[in-house]
Each structure stands twice: as structure tokens, then as C-alpha cells.
Structure 1
């Protein structure tokens, strides 16, 4: 990924935070037909002594050959993104020497995909995923709410996977190469948009601007 120094984001807590907020990962791997991409909701587990950069967990259909891929994979997590109009730049009124751009936040995770064969460990992955995605509900659904034999039958149709993180990079393109006034204008302009992605990008822009 092309990475101008101004756009580099390397704080683990920020990178992990984006993955938690935008958990649908695009898993890019090599297949017999060349590069392939699978879109899979994932959970980033915190770093520990065994996995110092964290670990992604997920599950896929057993019929999906991605779990049989060997070697390194890359998972892309796309955060908020939005078009940036020249109307928000000071130069628009001063000289007109300005053009549009497109801002975004994205995380790339690299590691080797592994399957989880132990049934107890696999069930724990399913429970962690479910608890994470149900956490905002007033009455969260639990895996244990379904009959145990039903869950065991479904587990035969899916495969647990994990990706210990070997390398993680983040690119926060929020016009850091522009003036403070332009960046403030951009954040304010995004705030005025009736769009959740623009609102989220405004928040990230303000965090970058004020050093949060």
C-alpha cells in the first residue's frame, strides 16, 4: 500500500479499533485460479504473549476453499470514506488552484491463515464472535440458546479460522498534508452531510487534527 508519511497510522489501539468498528474483512489469498478475495466478518483479539500483535478469528463455510489456502494472506478492513469537494478549501476563494480528493481510513492485516480443528476451541471462537456482535442488543443471543446438537450439526458445515497478525498497517488519509484551516473546513463540511460514513470520517479527521 502506498504510504506517504503524513498518512501513516501505526497505533495498535487505533488500528484494532477500526477493525472492531468495521469488522467485514476482505481476505485476499492465492488460489489455483490466482488471487481471490473473500468477504468475512472477523474479530480482532487483543495482543498477548503468544500473539504480540493480536489475532483475527472467524469462520467460513466448509464448501469455501479459502480455508485450505496455504501461505500468507492479507485482510483489508475499510473504514469510513468520503469525497472531499474543492469548495471546502481556502484556495477555492483565493486562487481557485484546488482539485477534489477522496479521504478514507483503512487497515491491512498480514498473516498466515490457520484452521481451528479442536472442537472446544472452535466452539469458543463461535461464542466470542456471537458475543461481540450481539453485545449492543438489550437481550443478546448466545450460542447456548440453541440446542447443543443443532450447533454441533452446523459446526460440521463450517470451519473455524484464525490469522495470527504478523504485520498490520493503517492509512488514515484525512488531508494531513493540508493547512489546519482546510482540515477544519473539511471536518465541518463532512459534519453537514446527511451520511453516516461522512460523519464517521469527520470524527476521524477531528481526531487527527487535534491529536486525539
Structure 2
């Protein structure tokens, strides 16, 4: 990943992407070319030397059963947003400004492990559901559904785990702008209702 020094993601930013992204594109190189699937995941830092991204996919999806050449890749994406040059204080000073795009992303590489058994996928979907349901007013639990129904659903999926070997990450969040321009970006993002992107720029400013 091309990453200028001022856009290099901090360890804290990488950790936030791993824990909070929710879903990522799994990309694998196979003898027949590239395959990709967007998958919900959870991050388990206790696996291997660098942690793992744990997910699942439909059993009918050929990606899990197709041999992988080399490393597998999961692409994580944080909040992203168009940045208008009209938000910059420097526009009024000299006018030498152009639009850009702010974003945070991580490319997570690793070894793909398939869990084609009932126990691992069953534990995984409970963890995944509990992770997202924790923010609900009345959290739903897998155990609320009929046991036979859940058993049938589990037969239709396979567990997929990316045991991480390395991470390349970038946080392009207006770090190359003046303090006045950064304040303008934060205010501009809030004005269009993008609180998540504004918060990302604030965190980068304060780090």
C-alpha cells in the first residue's frame, strides 16, 4: 500500500479498525484468478502471533474450497468522506486548494484456515451476534431461535479464519493541512451529517 509518512496509521488507529470495522473484503488468489467476498468478522487478538480475523461464508461459495496461492488478504475500511476545498481556511487566503478524499483502511494479510465443522462456526456466530447485539436496546441471542433451525443454518456455512501475518494501514485524515484547515474540515463534515468522519479527523488531530 502506498503510504506517505504523514498518513501512516498509528497502532491505536489499526487496533480501532480491527475491532470496529464490522465487515471486510476477503481476497484470495487462486489458480483460476482472484476471488473476493465481503464478510462480517470479529477480531481475536489471542490467535497466533498477531491475532486473527474470524468470519464465515456460505457453503455454496466456492472461495472457501478453492486452493489459495500465497497469502490471503482482508481489506478493512473505516469511515470515508469527500472533502470540499470550500471548507479550508486557506481557500480564502490563496485559493490554491483542490478536493480530496479522507479515509482509513487496513490491508490484513495472513494464512487462511477453514473450519468445516459444527463447533467452531457455532461458537463464532454466537460471538459475532453478541458483539453487534450488545448495542441494541433488547439484544437478540442465537438461543432465542429454534435449535433445529439454527442447526440447519450452521450446516449451510463454513468458518473462515485469517491468521494474521502482517498489516499495512493508512489513515488519510487531513494531517497534511494547516490547523485552521483541519478545523474547517471537521466543521464541514459535521455540517453534512458525517459525524463518524469528523470524529476520525479529530482523533488524528489530537494524536
Give the alignment's TM-score, normalised by structure 2: 0.91
Equivalent residues of 1:28, 1:75 under 8 A apart: yes
**Structure 2 partner of 1:57:** 54
CA distance in 2, matches of 1:21, 1:176: 22
The residue matched to 1:66 in structure 2 has which SS? Answer: coil
Equivalent residues of 1:16, 1:44 under 8 A apart: no
Q: Tell me, which stretches of 5 or more residues in structure 2 are unaligned?
A: none
Deviation at residue 129 of structure 1 after TM alignment: 1.1
Alpha-carbon displacement from aligned partner over 1:49-105 (angstroms, at most 9, x marks no partner): x42322111110111011124241111111111111111223311221111111111
**Structure 1 partner of 2:4:** 4
User: Which runs of 4 or more aligned residues in structure 1 lie more than 6 Å from their structure 2 counterparts after TM superposition?
Assistant: none
- Between the two proteins, the alignment pairs up a number of residues equal to 205
5 Å matches for 1:93-132?
A: 93-132=92-131
The range that moved more, 59-68 or 137-146, is 137-146
Deviation at residue 122 of structure 1 after TM alignment: 2.4
**RMSD across aligned C-alpha pairs, in angstroms?**
1.7
Give the alignment's TM-score, normalised by structure 1: 0.89
Equivalent residues of 1:67, 1:114 under 8 A apart: no
CA distance in 2, matches of 1:98, 1:60: 44
**Structure 2 partner of 1:206:** 202
Deviation at residue 118 of structure 1 after TM alignment: 4.1
